[in-house]
A and B are shown apart, each in its own frame.
Chain A
Amino acid sequence: MSPGSSRQNFSYYLRRAADSIVAAPVVSGVTVSSIAVSVLFMALIVLMGGNAGRMVALWSASGMDVSLYLELDAGEEQVVELKDRLAAYPEVARVNYLSREEAWQFLADNLGDSAELLSGLDSSVLPASLELSLALDADPGSLPARFEEWANLEGVDDLQYNRYELSRRSSALPLVAWLTLGLCAVAGLASLIIVGAGYQLAAYSRREELDVMRLLGAVGNLYWGPILLAGLIEGTAAAGIALGVTLMGYGALSSVVLRQLPLLGEAVAFLSPTEIVRLLGWGAFLGGFGSLIGMWRISKWR
């Protein structure tokens, strides 16, 4: 018989955790709201950072198109295969095939009045090409390596892109990312302090009860387990509430923005599934960590 071992099944922890949440509704309300507000702030920062990044990318997107000139003897089958292969890269949003004739026509259209300059030439001097539109969230830092890779694909003769636009994007996007990260760090630190204070309050309101449990021989997991579990439950629930509020706010705001500025459509998006999971995890962490720290500071079991 060793206390704190796994003799107790999960229902013990769940029962005690649920008990402690329901026991002091006001105090639980305070801790849950403090976590919800913290996660809400974090979600807004991440959401705005993501959208700002995609908008920056969108503004430079037109200049970011990449042309892959095909070898003159590339067959249709090879081109189709190449197109599929390129479309599969996450950095690639769209691939368009431009035949020699279309390239010729495109050039002629662009020359306008001076089109007669082309009159002595054969349309076959221009190579066919694959025109790539890059994804808005493609990492500019890794693009040069990708370009190198694509230029060496079978059937590709040459690859051209706008170096100036790429370097512009390479400097703007990390700025947005670092700014977002910095704001997250500040908000995270502030949250830890606020949530910790809330849980300290919760701990004080339960001091007598925890003392009784200790005197009755609650120790280790039996003592800390329910405290941790209650914090995790509260934190996850609070994060869920915060994300719900964020989603509602996003829904209302984005429909207004898109009606006014439909061109932004490609750039405006809600949090990605990964971001949602991370924010839920952040809420759970705040709850679990906060409750343990709060209890630890008043506890005689150290």
Chain B
Amino acid sequence: MIRLSGISKRYNGSRVALDAVELHVHEGEFAVVTGPSGSGKTTLFRVLIGEEKPDSGTAIVDGRNLSRLDASGLAELRHQLGLVFEEPRLVDRLSIIDNVALAADLAGATRSEARERAAACLDRVGMLGYRDCRPRDLSGGERQFVALARALVNDPVLILADEPTLNLDPDYTLEMMRVLTECCAAGATVFMASHDIEALSVLRCRVLLMNGGRMQSEGFGEPAFL
């Protein structure tokens, strides 16, 4: 599902953010990359979603070579990804359900279909009660769950999450890991960047350790969840 080889990235003038990264994530796998702040996790995430062009190396996501995709090819790929960021990144002026429906809308669903799927996803993350609220009416944690629902609305083959639990309290963190694990069990591939011990402690999956832009070691998380 994800295959990176020799990916290097150096931001203008600063030190190396990614250094010849090799990564292979199988279809249906749940994999986590961890490491200290500044180790390159977010940069890796941005390369995977096509927001950052690596200086060298090839990135293949869902069978597509990212360096060969034009804008519309990339957009089409994004319709099949579920993205969760550190911040919820909701559109303030849209209601909760419209925020979730937006992703389906952009992927080509009709208005009613998009809203139907949005309602189902909000229900799945326990946020359906807020469907007609605005993002500003919700707490930070609740907003992040709306963002999770939005990531699921197109039934993604691959879920990519960058520090999704950064601003969550422990209960919410647990709940988010539960939903992601559930998605993985249902067939989606999940790749998460996180240095949240709380989140990692409940996962039983492959954990990659990054440091200074390099993949350092690989291990298995403490088996605690499910």
Partner-B contacts on A (CB < 8 A)? 1-4, 7-8, 11-12, 15, 19, 22-24, 208-209, 211-220, 222, 301
Contacts and interface: CB of A to CB of B under 8 A. Distances in A.
Contact of A219 (B51, B71, B92): B71
A211 B87 CA distance: 13
A3 B89 contact: no
A184 B1 CA distance: 59
A217 B106 contact: yes
Contact of A217 (B78, B90, B94): B78
Contacts of A218: 75, 106
Q: Which 8 pairs show the lowest CB-CB distances between chains A and B? A: A219-B75, A217-B78, A217-B75, A23-B93, A3-B75, A217-B79, A216-B103, A218-B106
B118 interface: no
Given A4-B75, A8-B108, A215-B89, 11 more contacts: A1-B76, A3-B72, A3-B76, A19-B94, A22-B93, A216-B78, A216-B79, A216-B83, A217-B76, A220-B72, A301-B71
Contact of B108 (A7, A19, A209, A220): A7
- SS class of chain A's interface: helix, strand, loop or mixed? helix
Contacts of A219: 71-72, 74-75
B133 interface: no
B91 A2 contact: no
B16 interface: no
Given A19-B94, A219-B71, A301-B71, A212 B76 contact: no
Nearest to B114: A12
A2 B103 contact: no
A153 to B, nearest CB: 65
A25 B72 CA distance: 31
B91 to A, nearest CB: 5
A216 B71 contact: no
A295 B92 CA distance: 19
A41 to B, nearest CB: 32
Contacts of A23: 93
A3 B75 CA distance: 7
Contacts of B106: 3, 213, 216-218, 222
